[in-house]
Structure formats: C-alpha cells, structure tokens
Amino acid sequence: MLKTAFTETFKIDHPIVCGGMTAVGTAELIGAVANAGALGFLTALTQPTPEALAKEIARTQSLTDKPFGVNLTILPTIEPVPYDEYRDAIIDGGVKIVETAGANPAPHLPALKGAGVKVVHKAVSVRHAVKAEKLGVDAVCIDGFECAGHPGEDDVSGLVLINAAARQLTIPIIASGGIANGAGLVAALALGASAVNMGTRFVATTEAPVHDNVKQQIVANDERSTQIVFRQFRNTARVARNAVSEEIVEISSRPGATFADIAHLASGARGRSEVLDKGVMDGGMWWASQAQGLIFEVDSCARVVATIMDEAQALISDTLPALTQ
C-alpha cells in the first residue's frame, strides 16, 4: 500500500481517482471504484435534477461503505442550472468530498466547508491551481494536454505541468491525463503528485455504464486515436477520433465557421444516445484520452486498481532500485 498526502487527507486506500464523467459517473461505477479502494466521483449534472442526484447518492451508499465524492461542474448554460440546490443535495446526502470544475468554486466553498466537505478543484494550468489553493480548496486535480475533455489552451503535457505545479503548491496534487497503469502512477509521484486521476481507463471496465462497443473500441484504439476539436472557438477539447470528430475538424477549418455550424455534430445528447447507449461508434462525438494506447483489456474496477498498484509497487521496490546497483 502506498501512503501519500492524498491518501492521508482523504482517507482512501490507494492514490487513484476516477473523476467526474458526464453520463458515466453513476452509482454502479463509482460504487465499484470505492470498493476497490480508490476515490470515485458521481457526476452531479448527469442527474436531471437535484432530487435525482440525492437518489443517486443514496444508491451509491447502498453499494459501498467506503468514501466517494460528487463532481459539480459549473459552466455557462442556455438553461439556468440550480447549482446551489445540487450543492445542497450533496451536503444533505452526507457526502464529504466534492470535485469542482469549470468556473471559480468560491461561491460554493463557504457552504461546503461549513458542512465539513473537502474540496478538490480541477485545473488545467499552474496559475489556476495556485488560485484554487489560495481560495482554500483541499487538493487540486491538474489535467495535462493528454487528457480527455478540455485541457485548456496552453498545450502543456503532464510531464511538465505536474512538476511545475508541485513547485508552487502545498496541497495534494492529483495528476490527470494519459494515465492508465502503474508506470503512470509512479511517474506522477516522482513529479510531485500524490495521486492520479483516470477517466478513460475506468470507462473500459465491466462496471462502466456504457455500451460494450465503446469499451472494446478503447482497447482497439492506440495513442493516436484522439482528435483535438473546438480549437478555433477557444474551447479546445480532446475526443476519440471517429467520423464525427473528423467532420467537426473539417467544418471548423472553413473560413468564417462558427460553433453553430458544428453544434449538431458536437451535441452531448447525441453522443450519449448514439455512442454510449447504443454503441454506434461513428454516431456522435465521445470523449477519450491518449491513454487509449495503454489500455489492452476490459476488466473490473477491482482488477484495474489492484493491477496498477501491483505494477507501481514492483517498479518502486524492484525495477528502479536495480538501476542504482
């Protein structure tokens, strides 16, 4: 067992996190992650209402007696989202760890801290991580350019970003982006992180609530099987490479193109329905990181976590020490 500032602060067995993932972070997956000794986050906005989130929290609690958290991503939306009510559902449900992302978490910190909730904030740059620490969060999760989702506009890989952040932060750092095995965990620890976040690796598990075609596609894909989209609109994102993501890139590159020209292709509802639910792999845009090149089988969360920890222990105890002999 590896003890780090993360495991000590959050009372988790292993320094492994499954961060919030829209349409994927539900009770089945997060309960299994928790039972494996890692920290998983339900995704609040996957649930259509705060009342539905409260039920999902209770459902997760029926599946595990170990700690888990809830992700609350705060973003501009066309239809107003009752973020305060979602936050209150988290607190009332007895959840003691929250992952915030998107906008500044400051408006929610007094209520969360007042309820004894520890807060992890997701950042994509050192400057944003430093600001989050000053606001009083308990840890930061930093996404390198390899990650699925939105890595920001700086294009800094985790190899540089994590170590740069470690030189300025005193709170625990969770390294995120392109990590799927024990070597990635050991590397992150060497860079100054005290845990790793994995999304794509946990999608390719038996408990993930997505079609098996998605899981098998992740296994079949390699490290080149992603696509950068939305760069022209200053909202850079990394998604799986397929016919839809390639069409998005082609249309976006046309002179005068606007987001409205690709909105029908980039629709999250379309991706969830056609890809995640039905398994039509060219049916919509879906999220995956460069870690696809390191995932070779679909396995249970328990096996994934155990294998990563065994690999990390072997590297620390045997392989690395042997280099100095």
Domain segments of the chain: what residues?
Answer: 5-209+295-322, 226-287
Nearest alpha carbon to residue 171 among 61, 1, 3, 9? 9
pLDDT category of residue 104 using cuts at 50, 70 and 90: very high
pLDDT category of residue 79 using cuts at 50, 70 and 90: confident
103, 74 contact by CB (below 8 A): yes
* Digit-coded pLDDT (tens) for 147-201: 999 999 999 999 999 999 999 999 999 999 999 999 999 999 999 999 999 999 9
Say what percent of the chain tops pLDDT 70.
Answer: 100
| Residues 290-301, mean pLDDT to the nearest whole number | 98
CA–CA distance, 40 with 35 (Å, rounded to integer): 10
Terminal-residue alpha carbon distance, the chain: 25
Say what percent of the chain tops pLDDT 90.
Answer: 97
pLDDT at residue 119 greater than cutoff 80: yes
Q: Give the model's pLDDT for residue 46.
A: 96
Q: Give the model's pLDDT for residue 106.
A: 96
Measured in residues, the chain has a length of 325
Longest dimension (CA), the chain: 62
CA–CA distance, 137 with 114 (Å, rounded to integer): 13
- Token pair listed for 193: 């992180």
* Digit-coded pLDDT (tens) for 207-244: 999 999 999 999 999 999 999 999 999 999 999 999 99
Q: Give the model's pLDDT for residue 75.
A: 85
CA–CA distance, 190 with 69 (Å, rounded to integer): 26
Fold of 5-209+295-322: TIM Barrel (3.20.20)
C-alpha R_g of the chain: 19
- Token pair listed for 248: 């998005």
pLDDT at residue 77 greater than cutoff 90: no
Average pLDDT score over the chain: 96
pLDDT at residue 78 greater than cutoff 90: no
228, 147 contact by CB (below 8 A): no
Nearest alpha carbon to residue 268 among 257, 276, 259? 276
pLDDT at residue 76 greater than cutoff 90: no
Nearest alpha carbon to residue 284 among 269, 298, 294? 269
pLDDT at residue 264 greater than cutoff 90: yes
| Residues 268-278, mean pLDDT to the nearest whole number | 96
